[in-house]
Amino acid sequence: MSPRKLDLSIYGALIAAGILVPLLAPAFTSQMAVLWLMVLMAVTWDMTGGQMGYNSLGNITFFGIGMYASAVVQIGLVYDVAEYTSAFGAIKVDFTEDQYWTGLFLGIGFGGVMATIFAMIVGPFMLGLRGPYFAIGTLGLAVAVAEMVSGWRYVGGGSGISMPVFPGAAGTGSLVFYILLFALAILSHLVVRAVLKTRFGLAINAIRDDEDKAEAMGIHTTRYKVIAWMIPAFFMGMAGAVFGNMSGFIEPLEVAFPTATFGIFMVAMALLGGKGTIWGPVLGAILFHIIKEVTWTHLLGWQWVALGAIIIINIVYFQQGILGWAQDRWPALFGLTVDERMTRTGQAEAAE
Amino acid sequence: MHFVKTELRAAAIAAALTASLGLAAAPAEAKVDGDTIILGSAISLTGKYSTNGIHAQNGYELGVKMINDNGGVTVGGKSYKFKVVYYDDESTPARGAQLAERLINQDGVKYMLGPYSSGLTKAIAPVTEKYKIPMVEAEGASRSLFTQGYRYLFAVLSTSEQYLASSIALAAEIAEQNGKKASDVKVAMAFENDPFSLDVRAGVVEDAAKYDMKIVIDDKLPRDLSDMTSTLTKVKALKPDLLVVSGHSKGAATAGRQISELKISTPMIAMTHCEAAKVVEKYGADAMEGLLCPTQWAETLSYKDDLFGTAAEYDALFKKTFEGYKTVPYQSAQATAAVMVWKDAFERANSFDTEALRDAIADTNMTTFYGGIKFSPEGNNIAKPMVLRQIQDGEYKVVAPVKWASSKARHPRQPKY
Amino acid sequence: MLDNISILFQAPIFAVDLLVQGLLIGGIFVLAAYGLALVWGVMNVKNLAQGDMVILGGYVAYQCTLWGMHPIIALPIAFMLLFALGWGIYATIIRRVVDRDMFTSLLATFGLSLLIQQALNLRFGPEVKIAESGFGTLDFGDLTIPAIRFVGLGLAAVLAVGLVLFMRNSRMGQAIRATAQDPRAARVLGINTDRVYAFTYALNAAICGAAGVLVAMIWNIQPFYGIVHSIRAFIIVTAAGLGNLPGVVVAGFGLGVWENYSGFIFGAEFAVAAVVIVLVLVLMVRLFQMYRVRQVVR
């Protein structure tokens, strides 16, 4: 089977699973919705982290910006946002069904766009940083934005915003958000995969392998890097908008900018599955989410200890991740042509 | 090589399926299982609210135990026992909302108890409302919960804007006694930047505006800041007549320490969560002398009921049941009261139907060791006042409102640092 | 904001107050940052668990007060305990990430930080704890400064001087410095670099532990407070530049002062943001410096 066919069959399996689960086990839709969110986060993180070698710890910023942007749009369509937030949710928002749906879709789009614009503005500065400085800088960015939003009265500051309530019947809300997150996850993976197949993908791989040489060969590294960061930003922004609506109540530190949880999880998931591979982040996200849910159900209080241990073991002993390991083992399966002789000398050199 | 490829594909499909179905192992429990009525609650067992989350859980457990040991709940002539299904919400609102759905959908819970904190309750209330599942909550005090027109949400505690508002009234009263105008009172505020404290702040701002008082400092404390020197330096510079602080237990711990270290001489200081932060035990009775602390409940109040007896008897029983409590936090007492509301409602409704139960809860009018419980149409408890206690010689003495006061407020504060 | 600034001009005593308080806490920031600079410079490990080790040291002090000891006595105890712990962490985790790319160490130590936080949370609960020194407050006219802050600064200074002397004169200190300069050459000259790394990491943990004891006496501790201390240490080291010890000292004190002034002027809600923005700014400045260097090369 060719790699292309393999990819197609995995897509088929994922889509089948995505459609079957809410039908077979409707009670699990909200957990599964979070699973798709995790997949989206890991996949988009890997675009810059795995494929371009820029390990961001701050992609969660886009998530929160998307969430807040959509909240402002959704409420702003009908009410005065400042008045709404200064009342601490004491105004009851009453949306007609039309208003809700227009608001939701405008909000999701606007969330994605705002996050992308933000990436475009800060990108040239942040992406000038190299290696660990980029990681620390983006982490700092995420914390700074979260703190700024907590102090910003217009969006309610630390007291957060109550989101408009889903108008449909009970249970349909989580199904709608499930479908949205599922579609976004699959779409983001398709986009990332398609982009990586183009010349653009080769360019960002070149940046990962040797940025100075890539620049010397005439690649506009900064432009490429910023565009490569805007793609995850767009999807993270939209996902944030959906997740904000799913949560029903948003506030800066725990829901919108959870730097120490989702912000790091997406990195851990991509590494677990195999950084820089097409399917690694998906596999990693699925496994990570299952582990998280299972430890959380059965090891109350110890789930975080378990997660910490998993991250350490993964990083320290098993860094290339599951698919990374498989890729080294069976490169042909991943559509890689490898000159066996060269690899062997290469490995020998590296070993020295 | 071929079989490896198929294997990989099978692995991918298997992974996807495990993801979807592996989670589906737990069978849905029925709402009433034999002679057991199942209540559900998402509560903070880990994370930053876990201390108070566990206080609340202990309160629920004590309520359940006492009710089960004393004849249970009688519905349709048959006696039932309570059981609570708990999930840990990790102190995050997003998780809380998911768990509410999980309790309702997966575990089939039809009767809910609340989570800890206003933020979590804000996240969960829309879900229970959507499913028309009645929730009696004991730990979400934010006023905004009761302006949304929720029909299925009932709270046994007083709303948060009342926490420190009485200190403003007290300050005005004292200013007038001293021949000053209430509008001359200068207020300094330091509130944690979270839903609960900002709601308390809104109550203070509103009441200060009523007396036309001047707010000279309005700082919001970050959630994990352990140093408020800069705010207190401002207090020293501007010399307000009243300083109000709120920020759960850690805010109270930080404030208590630094007020004494920096020898803040403000004549009147009010803050929430003094008892939970154990300020007297930590910093000494001398330094904390005269601090005003609002509380939902105190064991010295003269409330009583048939199940637990007086507030003091509840206090003794709680200390006997759970180790390590020197004072019983009001968070536990109100959690117990929430369970009692459920028992009362089941017996009056004489049914398991959620609509009938909702109506029964709405009609609640009972007296408990925790105080009177009667819900407004919005769902908050209007039969119980918030009381203000002052630390006097290391003891918490009720000083306001006058009806419950056991001693007179000392003003100005005379701490010995 | 403007009225807050005007207070400082009308009553300069408060400006002095903020300055002194800031300098006094800056000393503790310097300690943790110095430890970070050490592991960063010598072994190229970015220790994200830095703050959590500080908090761990704080809990040692707290535990000692529970046993009826004065928290000052906990200082050497925490120093030694964390030294041992640091050695253990090196042997199990850090040894395997030293030679890898720097992001690896960042993530591995993040996992470590999660572990420490949660272990502390399980053992001590999420409530804030303090280790009361009972030293009281010193008055200087309008200035009231907790005596423990002076004691803390003094102890930090003693520790720092001890460290500098150790690095300069002892055999191990020389080996550490040699390894930092060129690990390969050091190995050729018979230095057991693995041991040097282990010692360096353990020493860093020990310094953090000692700083934590001071933190528990001056502020309060809670299992999840570590991240703020980590961020501070990173800011200071990044601002100072690697291998610049005087820079670490200046940046540490500067940060202490800046935290107090920004909290005063912008309001406490922006204090953390102000600190983190400084980090981002520092990184930007470094970036532009680098651009300039590259232009020159062209």
**pLDDT number for residue B336:** 94
Residues 107-136, chain C: which have Cβ within 8 Å of A?
107-108, 110-115, 117-119, 121-122
List all residues 6 or more positions away from B309 whose beta carbon is below 8 Å from its beta carbon.
B369
Chain region(s) in chain B for CATH 3.40.50.2300: 5-159+299-374, 161-295+387-404
* Highest-confidence segment of A19-33, A87-101, A325-339, C48-62: C48-62
**pLDDT number for residue B16:** 46
- Mean pLDDT computed over every residue of chain A: 85
| Mean predicted confidence (pLDDT) in B383-394 | 89
- Is B102's Cβ below 8 Å from some Cβ in A? yes
Asked if the Cβ–Cβ distance from B263 to C227 is below 8 Å, we say no
CB C150, CB C138: distance < 8 Å = yes
Say how far apart CA A227 and CA A57 lie, in whole Å: 18
- In this prediction, residue B28 has a pLDDT band, given cuts at 50, 70 and 90, of very low
- Mean pLDDT computed over every residue of chain C: 87
Q: For residue C298, tell me if it sits in a domain.
A: no
Cβ–Cβ contacts within 10 Å for residue B324, how many? 5
E strands in chain A: 161-162, 249-250
Which carries the bigger pLDDT value, residue A350 or residue A183?
Answer: A183
CB C30, CB C210: distance < 8 Å = no
Asked if the Cβ–Cβ distance from A251 to B195 is below 8 Å, we say yes
Q: For residue A253, tell me if it sits in a domain.
A: yes
Asked if the Cβ–Cβ distance from B262 to C272 is below 8 Å, we say no
CB A238, CB A112: distance < 8 Å = yes
Lowest mean pLDDT among A337-341, B21-25, B135-139, C215-219: B21-25
Cβ–Cβ contacts within 10 Å for residue B27, how many? 9
| Mean predicted confidence (pLDDT) in B226-243 | 89
**pLDDT number for residue C292:** 72
- Name the residue facing A35 among B19, B94, B222 (closest C-beta): B19
Biggest alpha carbon distance in chain C?
66
- The tokens describing B346, both together, are 């089941």
Residues 140-199, chain A: which have Cβ within 8 Å of B?
147, 150-151, 157-160, 162, 165-166, 170-171, 173-174
Say how far apart CA B49 and CA B134 lie, in whole Å: 24
Three-state secondary structure call for residue B162: helix
Q: For residue C88, tell me if it sits in a domain.
A: yes
- In which domain, by residue range, is A156 found? 3-259
Which carries the bigger pLDDT value, residue C55 or residue A302?
Answer: C55
- In this prediction, residue A90 has a pLDDT band, given cuts at 50, 70 and 90, of low
What distance in Å separates residue A253's CA from the closest CA in chain B? 9
Domain tally for chain C? 1
A28 contacts in chain B (CB < 8 Å): 20, 23-24, 106
Which carries the bigger pLDDT value, residue A41 or residue C8?
Answer: A41
| Mean predicted confidence (pLDDT) in A299-327 | 81
Long-range contacts of C59-67, Cβ-Cβ distance < 8 Å, separation of 24 or more: C59/C120, C59/C123, C59/C124, C59/C129, C59/C212, C59/C216, C59/C221, C60/C209, C60/C212, C60/C213, C61/C131, C61/C212, C61/C213, C61/C216, C61/C217, C62/C124, C62/C129, C62/C130, C62/C131, C62/C216, C62/C221, C64/C131, C65/C131, C65/C132
Helix axes C171-181, C147-169, angle to 10 degrees: 80
C-alpha closest to that of B148 among A83, A89, A84? A89
Residue with tokens 């500065």: A125
CB C64, CB C71: distance < 8 Å = yes
State yes or no: pLDDT of B219 exceeds 70. yes
- In this prediction, residue C244 has a pLDDT band, given cuts at 50, 70 and 90, of confident
* Phi, psi torsion values for A278, nearest 5 degrees: -70, -45
- Buried b / exposed e across B44-73, counting CB within 10 Å, b at 16+? bbbbbbbbbbbbbbbbbbbbbbbbbeeebb
| Mean predicted confidence (pLDDT) in B313-324 | 90
| Mean predicted confidence (pLDDT) in C232-243 | 84
Which carries the bigger pLDDT value, residue A291 or residue C297?
Answer: A291
**pLDDT number for residue B359:** 93
Which carries the bigger pLDDT value, residue B17 or residue B36?
Answer: B36
CB C218, CB C149: distance < 8 Å = yes
| Mean predicted confidence (pLDDT) in A111-119 | 96
pLDDT per residue as tens digits for the range C127-178: 888 888 878 888 887 788 888 888 889 999 999 899 889 988 999 999 998 9
Say how far apart CA A176 and CA A180 lie, in whole Å: 6
| Mean predicted confidence (pLDDT) in A178-189 | 94
- The tokens describing B162, both together, are 């009342």
Which carries the bigger pLDDT value, residue C246 or residue A303?
Answer: C246
Say how far apart CA C140 and CA C155 lie, in whole Å: 22
pLDDT per residue as tens digits for the range C53-105: 999 999 999 999 999 889 889 999 999 999 999 999 999 989 888 887 777 88
> CATH topology for B161-295+387-404?
Rossmann fold (3.40.50)
Whole-prediction pTM: 0.86
Domain tally for chain A? 1
- The tokens describing A311, both together, are 């991250």
**pLDDT number for residue B40:** 92
Asked if the Cβ–Cβ distance from C219 to B234 is below 8 Å, we say no
| Mean predicted confidence (pLDDT) in B321-331 | 84
Asked if the Cβ–Cβ distance from A158 to B9 is below 8 Å, we say no
- Mean pLDDT computed over every residue of chain B: 85
Asked if the Cβ–Cβ distance from B226 to C225 is below 8 Å, we say yes
Lowest mean pLDDT among A262-271, A339-348, B385-394: A339-348
Measured over the CA atoms of residue B310, residue B313, residue B317 and residue B318, the dihedral's sign is: positive
| Mean predicted confidence (pLDDT) in B317-342 | 89
Residue C18 sits in a domain whose CATH number is 1.10.3470
Cβ–Cβ contacts within 10 Å for residue B267, how many? 16
Q: For residue A323, tell me if it sits in a domain.
A: no
CB B28, CB B106: distance < 8 Å = yes
Amino acid occupying residue B312: A
Asked if the Cβ–Cβ distance from B237 to C11 is below 8 Å, we say yes
Residue A248 region, left (φ>0) first, then alpha (ψ -120 to 50), else beta? left
- Is B142's Cβ below 8 Å from some Cβ in A? yes
Chains in contact with C via at least 3 Cβ–Cβ pairs below 8 Å: A, B
- Name the residue facing A1 among B5, B93, B198 (closest C-beta): B5
**pLDDT number for residue B409:** 85
C-alpha closest to that of B384 among B393, B376, B374? B374
- Is B92's Cβ below 8 Å from some Cβ in C? no
Cβ–Cβ contacts within 10 Å for residue A215, how many? 15
E strands in B194-272: 214-221, 242-246, 268-271
- In this prediction, residue C295 has a pLDDT band, given cuts at 50, 70 and 90, of low
- The tokens describing B73, both together, are 């709940």
Lowest mean pLDDT among B256-270, B271-285, C151-165: B271-285
State yes or no: pLDDT of A232 exceeds 90. yes
pLDDT per residue as tens digits for the range A188-229: 999 999 999 999 999 999 999 998 899 888 888 999 999 999
Q: For residue A166, tell me if it sits in a domain.
A: yes
Asked if the Cβ–Cβ distance from C220 to B253 is below 8 Å, we say yes
Say how far apart CA A311 and CA C110 lie, in whole Å: 8
State yes or no: pLDDT of B411 exceeds 90. no
**pLDDT number for residue B343:** 93
CB pairs under 8 A between A and C: 111
- The tokens describing B230, both together, are 């800069």
- The tokens describing B385, both together, are 């006042």
**pLDDT number for residue B2:** 47
Alpha helices, H only, chain C = 2-10, 12-43, 50-66, 74-89, 95-97, 102-124, 147-169, 171-181, 183-188, 193-218, 226-240, 245-266, 271-297
A251 contacts in chain B (CB < 8 Å): 93, 119, 194-195
Long-range contacts of B371-374, Cβ-Cβ distance < 8 Å, separation of 24 or more: B371/B297, B371/B301, B371/B303, B371/B337, B372/B303, B373/B156, B373/B337, B373/B341
Instruction: Determine the straight-line distance between the first and last CA of chain C, rounded to whole angstroms.
Output: 45
Which carries the bigger pLDDT value, residue C67 or residue B225?
Answer: C67
**pLDDT number for residue A234:** 96
**pLDDT number for residue A340:** 57
Say how far apart CA B18 and CA B186 lie, in whole Å: 63
What distance in Å separates residue C287's CA from the closest CA in chain A? 6
| Mean predicted confidence (pLDDT) in B28-38 | 72
- Is B416's Cβ below 8 Å from some Cβ in C? no
State yes or no: pLDDT of B274 exceeds 50. yes
| Mean predicted confidence (pLDDT) in A294-320 | 80
Say how far apart CA C274 and CA B253 lie, in whole Å: 24
**pLDDT number for residue C296:** 57
Q: How many CA atoms lie within 13 A of C30 on its CB side?
A: 29
Asked if the Cβ–Cβ distance from B20 to A17 is below 8 Å, we say yes
- In which domain, by residue range, is C87 found? 2-293
CATH 1.10.3720.10 fits B5-159+299-374, yes or no: no
- The tokens describing A239, both together, are 């996902």
